[in-house]
Amino acid sequence: MIHQLIFAAPKPGMTEEEFQRYWLEVHAVRYASRIPQIRRYAIDARIPQPGDGEPLWSGIAEIWLNNEEEQLASLQTPEFLEGARLDEPRWAAFWRSVVLDTDTEVVVPGVPENQVQPGIKQVILAKRAEGVSVEEFRRHSRETHAPLVSGLPGVGRYYQSFTRDSWYALSEPPFDAAYHVWFDDLASLRAARATAQQAAVEADYKNFVNERYLHVLTVRQDWVIGPQPR
CA 171 to chain centre: 21
Q: Is residue 230 part of a domain?
A: no
Q: Is residue 103 part of a domain?
A: yes
What are the residues facing 120 on neighbouring strands? 183
How many CA within 13 A on the CB side of residue 170? 8
Q: Is residue 140 part of a domain?
A: yes
Asked if 211 contacts 205 with a C-beta cutoff of 8 angstroms, the reply is: yes
Q: What is the pLDDT of residue 52?
A: 76
**Burial annotation 113-139 (CB, 10 A radius, 16+ → b, else e):** eeeebebbbbbbbbbbbeebebeebbe
Q: Is residue 14 part of a domain?
A: yes
In order along its 230 residues, the chain shows pLDDT tens digits of 999 999 999 999 999 999 999 999 999 999 999 999 999 999 999 999 887 778 899 999 999 999 999 999 999 999 999 999 999 999 999 999 999 999 999 999 999 999 999 999 999 999 999 999 999 999 999 999 999 999 999 999 999 999 999 999 989 999 999 999 999 999 999 999 999 999 999 999 999 999 999 999 999 999 999 999 99
Q: Is residue 164 part of a domain?
A: yes
Q: Is residue 200 part of a domain?
A: yes
Ordered DSSP codes for the chain: -EEEEEEE-BPTT--HHHHHHHIIIIIHHHTGGG-TT--EEEEEEE---TT--S-S-SEEEEEEES-HHHHHHHTTSHHIIIIIHHHGGGTB-GGG-EEEEEEEEEEE--S-TTSPPPSEEEEEEE-BPTT--HHHHHHHIIIIIHHHHHTSTT--EEEEEEEPHHHHHHS--S-SEEEEEEESSHHHHHHHHTSHHHHHHHHHHTTTB-GGG-EEEEEEEEEEE-SS--
CATH at residue 123 = 3.30.70.100
* Sign for the pseudo-dihedral over CA of 146, 106, 211, 152: negative
pTM, two decimal places: 0.96
Q: What is the pLDDT of residue 207?
A: 97
Domains held by the chain: number? 1
Q: What is the pLDDT of residue 50?
A: 83
Domain that holds residue 70: 2-225
